[in-house]
């Protein structure tokens, strides 16, 4: 932006002829206030590029999106600390689960004194309250209900609340017998990221490895219910006897999860 010289000219004229009155420029001629001077030949300042505008799901598919800023904040418990505690498996399930329909059953549910855990894929659960990302149009298997409702009786919001899905109770494994229920707190690990969620829904009795749109997004996993998810590399640790009330209190889930994860990592 070039600097206007009207004011400087007027000031010079005043010095040469102090008794002469200088007329104030009309509103149309009034020079704009400048924030910094630039050479007369300088290019006009360029405006900063606009912040993200494309569809978030599309940007996930292209590998350019990052989790929400709130999800970027790291806790004090690192992924490596938790993974070191789940290297060995003491099975509590009476058999193994599939990651998807038609795949081999290779995934056991394992147990410790403090938690149960499994290592699987992540399918995207978009059930519950319909929204811009989770609805009958975006998810062919969408259901406007979740096994565990909000405190006001409405279904959970998969777009906003990080939650995981546990298999429905069966002879293979009944999560209720191990202190796991709606609102139980889970640490979910993918790569070097640890995020906290609640148990929010139940799924098929022979399939394991599913979490909400919001949980996937927080972990940097494509949350698109049709094309998203990841085929492996996700560890789910659910802390026995834990519970967040109300179930939709995301901040409480994070605080409780961090505390329980710290105890789990220390072996308390």
Q: Which residues contact 72 (CB under 8 A, 6 or more apart)?
A: 66
Is residue 5 predicted with pLDDT exceeding 80? Answer: no
The residue ranking higher by pLDDT, 14 or 166, is 166
Task: Kindly report the number of other CB atoms within 10 A of residue 54's CB atom.
Answer: 10
Helices vs. strands in the chain: H and E counts, helices first: 6, 9
Give the DSSP letter string of 161-197.
S-EEEEEPP-SS--GGGGT--TT-EEEEEETTEEEEE
Q: Which two tokens stand for residue 211?
A: 């979490």
Residue pointed to by tokens 């062919």 = 140
Q: Where are the domains of the chain?
A: 74-266
Q: Which two tokens stand for residue 10?
A: 């007027």
pLDDT tens sequence across 248-267: 999 999 999 999 999 999 99
The residue ranking higher by pLDDT, 48 or 108, is 108
Is residue 228 predicted with pLDDT exceeding 90? Answer: yes
> pLDDT-derived band of residue 195, with 50, 70 and 90 as boundaries?
very high
Is residue 3 predicted with pLDDT exceeding 50? Answer: no
- State whether CATH 3.40.50.1860 applies to domain 74-266: no
Residue 128, classed as helix, strand or coil, is strand
**pTM metric for this prediction:** 0.74
Tell me the torsion sign for CA atoms 214, 220, 223, 224.
positive
pLDDT tens sequence across 45-93: 444 444 444 444 444 444 444 444 444 455 789 999 999 999 999 999 9
How far is the C-alpha of 117 from the C-alpha of 115, rounded, in Å? 7
pLDDT tens sequence across 110-126: 999 999 999 999 999 99
What's the pLDDT at 268?
A: 75
Is residue 192 predicted with pLDDT exceeding 90? Answer: yes
Please name which of 85, 104, 86 lies closest in space to residue 96, comparing C-alpha atoms. Answer: 104
Q: Which two tokens stand for residue 228?
A: 């998203």
What's the pLDDT at 217?
A: 98
CA gyration radius, the chain: 29
The mean pLDDT of 178-182, rounded to a whole number, is 98
The mean pLDDT of 207-218, rounded to a whole number, is 99
The mean pLDDT of 9-15, rounded to a whole number, is 38
């Amino acid at each position: 932006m070039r600097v206007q010289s009207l004011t400087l000219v007027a000031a010079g004229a005043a010095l040469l002829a102090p008794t002469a009155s200088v007329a104030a420029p009309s509103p149309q001629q009034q020079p704009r206030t400048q924030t910094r001077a630039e050479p007369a030949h300088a290019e006009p300042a360029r405006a900063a590029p606009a912040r993200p505008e494309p569809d978030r799901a599309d940007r996930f598919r292209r590998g350019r999106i990052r989790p929400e800023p709130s999800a970027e904040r790291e806790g004090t418990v690192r992924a490596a600390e938790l993974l070191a505690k789940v290297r060995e498996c003491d099975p509590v399930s009476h058999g193994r689960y599939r990651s998807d329909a038609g795949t081999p059953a290779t995934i056991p549910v394992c147990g410790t004194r403090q938690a149960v855990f499994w290592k699987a894929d992540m399918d995207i659960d978009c059930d519950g309250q319909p929204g811009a990302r989770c609805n009958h149009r975006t998810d062919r298997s969408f259901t406007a209900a979740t096994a565990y409702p909000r405190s006001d009786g409405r279904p959970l919001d998969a777009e906003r609340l990080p939650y995981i899905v546990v298999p429905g109770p069966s002879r293979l494994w009944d999560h209720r017998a191990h202190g796991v229920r709606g609102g139980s707190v889970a640490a979910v690990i993918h790569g070097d990221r640890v995020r906290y969620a609640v148990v929010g829904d139940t799924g098929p009795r022979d399939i394991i490895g599913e979490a909400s749109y919001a949980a996937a997004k927080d972990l940097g996993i494509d949350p698109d219910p049709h094309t998203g998810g990841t085929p492996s590399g996700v560890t789910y640790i659910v802390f026995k006897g834990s519970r967040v009330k109300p179930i939709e209190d995301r901040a409480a889930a994070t605080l409780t999860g961090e505390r329980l994860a710290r105890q789990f990592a220390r072996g308390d």
